[in-house]
């Protein structure tokens, strides 16, 4: 690994294939990004930064840019004349200007086919659901303050068994959530851009509904759709109003799938029973975000896909795709 801009320039002059790994501080920074250097074969030389703007010379000479949730704009792409590939270290790709990359003939790849994140995100989904059903956060807080809150909490305690779980987006992660829903004896329904194959529905025990019907009938709504222009603000104020007042919303996908102000309104007014949120718009969220103080909300800082085990799988999947590309092979999981 090199952190010197002079070394970057000399490496480029020597014909080495320069890889720029961008890992923001809030997802681990340089310490997390240093692993990419060890995973890529020679003659790749890796520069690790915490933002794309940090090292303009490294950006100018980069043949490949690996990004871990760091924004990659059209301006960044224009400033990288040698760039041939953008590799996202995630299933999502909303933080990259995919259209601008397409216009410049630069493939944008994810780790979608690697299965790296699907199990741990599904586990985080159920951690949030169980915390809401069992009122774990208020129970813990009350007990830590010397308050035996059982009489007060008892009316709001529920179980998952027999409830309807509505999954929005039945991709790899959504399917893992469906399997766990069946294990909890939940009735699983789903909505998405297209209907799954009958064999998939049978394996998951899941029924297809249109989105509005799913919202009207579900006790738990779990979001697993990618963030695109079509899905931004998918749960608008109007759609949130379709939910039962006893329903819970869980989001481990992208914060911008939900109108956050409308969700805060619904929680504060009692129109919605609660929400479990692992993602926000933006990230980290500002202290002024009303959802941080809304009633019956369980929050986590985008940890669903970053267990010790998953971080290793993600890094390996991203590095393997980059290594294959540098060896002249076709990259996988191209989204543009």
Query: pLDDT of 36-84, one tens digit each?
Result: 777 888 778 999 999 999 999 999 999 999 999 999 999 999 999 999 9
C-alpha 48/C-alpha 140 separation (Å) is 40
Judge whether 254 counts as a catalytic residue.
yes
Residues ≥6 apart with Cβ < 8 Å to 243:
215, 216, 218, 221, 249, 266, 271, 272
DSSP bridge partners of 80: none
Q: Where in the chain is the domain with CATH 3.40.50.720?
A: 5-115+308-326, 118-299
302 is catalytic: yes
pTM of the model: 0.85
Question: How confident is the model over 254-285, as pLDDT tens digits?
Answer: 999 999 999 999 999 999 999 999 999 999 99
Residues 72-82 pLDDT 10s: 999 999 999 99
Residue of 54, 123, 213, 283 marked active site: 283
pLDDT score for 15: 46
* Alpha-carbon dihedral angle through residues 271, 274, 279, 284, given to the nearest 10 degrees: 90
**Active-site hit among 18, 76, 224, 302:** 302
The CATH code that applies to domain 5-115+308-326 is 3.40.50.720
Spatial separation of the C-alpha atoms in residues 179 and 165, rounded to whole Å: 11
Domain covering 118-299 assigned CATH 3.40.50.720 in the classification: yes
Q: Catalytic residue among 18, 91, 119, 254, which?
A: 254
């Amino acid at each position: 690994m090199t952190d010197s801009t002079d070394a970057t320039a000399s490496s480029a002059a020597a014909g080495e294939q320069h890889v720029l790994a961008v890992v923001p501080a809030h997802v681990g920074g340089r310490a997390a990004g240093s692993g990419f250097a060890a995973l890529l074969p020679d003659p790749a030389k890796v520069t690790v930064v915490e933002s794309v703007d940090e090292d303009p010379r490294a950006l100018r000479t980069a043949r490949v840019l690996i990004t871990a949730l760091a924004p990659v704009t059209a301006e960044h792409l224009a400033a990288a004349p040698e760039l041939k590939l953008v590799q996202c270290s995630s299933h999502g790709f909303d933080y990259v200007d995919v259209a601008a990359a397409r216009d410049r003939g630069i493939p944008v790849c994810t780790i979608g086919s690697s299965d790296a994140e699907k199990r741990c995100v599904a586990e985080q989904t159920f951690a949030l659901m169980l915390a809401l059903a069992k009122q774990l956060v208020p129970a813990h807080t009350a007990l830590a303050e010397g308050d035996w809150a059982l009489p007060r909490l008892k009316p709001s305690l529920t179980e998952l068994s027999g409830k309807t779980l509505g999954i929005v987006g039945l991709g790899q992660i959504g399917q893992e959530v469906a399997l766990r829903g069946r294990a909890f004896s939940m009735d699983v329904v789903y909505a998405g851009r297209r209907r799954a194959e009958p064999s998939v529905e049978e394996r998951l025990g899941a029924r297809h509904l249109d989105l509005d019907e799913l919202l009207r009938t579900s006790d738990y709504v779990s979001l697993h759709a990618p963030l695109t222009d079509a899905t931004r603000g998918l749960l608008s104020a109007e759609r949130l109003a379709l939910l039962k007042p006893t329903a819970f919303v869980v989001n481990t996908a992208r914060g911008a799938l939900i109108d956050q102000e409308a969700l805060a309104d619904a929680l504060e007014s009692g129109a919605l029973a609660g929400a479990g949120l692992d993602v926000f718009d933006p990230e980290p969220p500002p202290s002024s975000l009303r959802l941080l103080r809304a009633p019956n909300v369980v929050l986590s800082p985008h940890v669903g896909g970053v267990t010790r085990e998953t971080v290793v799988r993600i890094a390996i999947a991203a590095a393997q795709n980059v290594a294959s590309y540098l060896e002249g092979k076709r990259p996988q999981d191209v989204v543009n």
